[in-house]
Amino acid sequence: MGVGHAHALYIHEHTPIHRMAPEAKLVAAFAFVAAVALTPREAVWAFAIYAVTIAVLIRTARVPARFVAVRLTTIAPFIVFALFIPFIASGEQVELLGVSVSRDGLWGTWNVVAKATIGATVSIVLAATTEIPEILRGMSVLRVPAPLTAIALFMVRYMELVAQELGRMRTAMIARGYDPRWLWQAKPIAAAAGATFVRSYERGERVHAAMLARGYAGAMPELNHRRANRSEWLMSASLPVLGITVALVALVVT
């Protein structure tokens, strides 16, 4: 079931990956990333296989490569941190472009960069092919505690409203000549944030009353949703099965 227009992380397409039940995608993504994380860093060939697998995945899901690249900038801080490892790690030193660096540290950098990139790319593809309510539904099928999924559900539903409220307050401030340039001019922004918090709390109370009025008794009801079928589980399992096999071979040979 689609939600019409979707969030910024989603690419609207009709591919087998888009159609797949969310719980199957979640399990596949999680298990694949776990296998990648357990792969010894020296098994460079294994990471090459992972990279090719993900490239095939991105193509099948018709997610533009540019979109993936832009979203990958999220992990830039980790990469920057990883780049320092060779300079601060101890152990055997090697020459790299005339600078003495730690061999172990270079492997460390490679380990962080490769695994973080693969993990982030998998989650980007997951988010690009699965709308947020679907992901939450998949989580509840996988028995993630209902209060957690319900909180996330409400957050998704009301985040936009809260953002709009803040936007209106900002417009109202600008309309009355507020033009903050310095930190000490930030007080009205803090006041607006406080007001938004109180308003959101009050809205929470009204939403709760509306839920009670329709018979809510403390647990979100079971709604009709399609569950993953056998062939979907099998299809989604191909990703982690490949990942785990490669990881095991890599563990044995290195």
The least distance separating another protein from the CB of residue 250, rounded to whole angstroms, comes to 41
The least distance separating another protein from the CB of residue 28, rounded to whole angstroms, comes to 23
The least distance separating another protein from the CB of residue 200, rounded to whole angstroms, comes to 12
Residue 227: strand, helix, or coil: coil
The least distance separating another protein from the CB of residue 164, rounded to whole angstroms, comes to 9
User: Distance between CA atoms of 132 and 134, rounded to whole angstroms?
Assistant: 5
Q: What is the CA radius of gyration of the chain?
A: 23
By the criterion CB under 8 A, which residues form the site for another protein? Answer: 1-5, 132-133, 153-154, 156-158, 160-161, 203, 206-207, 209-217, 221-224
The least distance separating another protein from the CB of residue 224, rounded to whole angstroms, comes to 6
User: Distance between CA atoms of 46 and 32, rounded to whole angstroms?
Assistant: 13
Closest to another protein by CB, 42 vs 160, is 160
Contact at 8 Å (CB) between 149 and 222? no
Write b or e for each residue in 148-178: b if 16 or more Cβ atoms lie within 10 A of its Cβ, otherwise e: ebeebbeebeeeeeeeebbeebeeebeeeee
Closest to another protein by CB, 73 vs 200, is 200
Closest to another protein by CB, 66 vs 214, is 214
Closest to another protein by CB, 170 vs 225, is 225
Closest to another protein by CB, 44 vs 209, is 209
Q: How many residues does the chain have?
A: 254
Contact at 8 Å (CB) between 116 and 78? yes
Q: How far is CA 250 from CA 37, 61, 102, 228, in A?
A: 12, 28, 24, 31
The least distance separating another protein from the CB of residue 229, rounded to whole angstroms, comes to 17
- CB contact set of 242 (below 8 Å; sequence gap of 6+): 32, 49, 53
Closest to another protein by CB, 191 vs 220, is 220
Closest to another protein by CB, 9 vs 106, is 9
Contact at 8 Å (CB) between 127 and 10? yes
The least distance separating another protein from the CB of residue 213, rounded to whole angstroms, comes to 4
Q: Give the pair of three-digit tokens for residue 110.
A: 């490679």
